[in-house]
Amino acid sequence: MSTTVKLTPEEIRDLSLKVLSHSGYGPDHAAAIAEMLTTCQLDDCQSHGLFRLFMCAQTMQAGKIDGHAEPVLEPSDNAIVRVDAQGGMSLLAFQKALPVLIEKTRAHGIAAMAINRCFHFSALWPEVESLSSAGLAAMAMVPSHSWVAPAGGTRGSLGTNPLAFSWPRMGKDPFTFDFATSAFARGEIELYKRAGKPLPEGVAIDKDGNPTTDPQAAMDGAMLTFGSYKGSALSIMIELLAGPLIDDLTSLESMEFAEGTGGAPYHGEIIIAFDPNQFSGGKAEANDARAERLFADILDQGARLPSQRRFAARAQNHQRGYAEIPEQLHTDLLALLV
């Protein structure tokens, strides 16, 4: 049985800041990234927590990202918030534009944020949950690199293309989901490779287009979408909404931009927010009860809501004051400081 290391929230954040600063990220970017990683680690999301520091370091080593870029928020008189990340990580741009997105959503009932020219590696649920905590419903989408084959295809044309959604619940954790349209997240395949474990059937093909359960062969070949043609269609939709719609790169173009250097993909992100009170004609409270009846009926059958386990992990880790990570991961992270 593998041993683990216990880290307090402060230790998670401090380790993140040290690695990020050592890698070349300025204090503002390091703080934004560290906040995201701490949130994910306390939710016991191993694939998007401290493990992602390797990708952050690799992205800087690839030489394309600007670790000191200052995002530029463009003025607008409509419901679209545009923020140019200026070739930096997306998180600082999101933080800068978030108050404006909330303000515009409350003014118009619906608003959207377009983040352009950003590198992106992170989970989307902290972003949509920052909106549901403000009483707004929200969804977010990004492309990635063309690691994923379309249904019926033999090579990567699509990204892992995650879709996240969060619905505010009065006095309760929000209803949130965040999943890749690929059958597996890229980070999960990397974790399977680190653990020396075979992948489940049906999530990847090798470079010759044959099914594979070998993580390395999957990374050399292509991943598959979930749900065959349905997942493939959703993935293409995300390519369009988070690419051409906002004047940014598709996953194919992001892969070309990388020129084989590795690291986080470079592209854009779209976040759409909805004001339940305006959409319901001022009846948000009554309609919250309607939503709660639906949730209660689902739970009454013995089913669970998305993110229930994550919220339980969050509560447990906050209560005990630490999260656990594999000891080998901790050792490998400390090596990034050498």
- Active site includes 48? yes
- Residue 259's contacts (CB-CB under 8 Å, 6 or more residues apart) are none
Residue of 16, 120, 144, 188 marked catalytic: 188
How many CB atoms neighbour CB 321 within 10 A?
Answer: 11
Q: Is the dihedral of CA 203, 209, 214, 219 positive or negative?
A: negative
Cα 296 to Cα 283: distance, rounded to the nearest angstrom: 20
- Active site includes 11? no
Phi/psi of residue 203, each to 5°? -110, -10
Residue of 47, 253, 280, 292 marked catalytic: 47
Q: Is the dihedral of CA 192, 90, 330, 308 positive or negative?
A: negative
Residue of 29, 48, 120, 330 marked catalytic: 48
Query: Tokens 């200052």 belong to which residue?
Result: 70
Q: Identify the three-state secondary structure at position 1.
A: coil
Listed in order, strand segments (DSSP E) in the chain are 4-7, 72-74, 80-89, 110-119, 137-141, 148-149, 163-169, 172-179, 204-205, 222-224, 266-274, 323-326
Known catalytic residues are: 47-48, 188
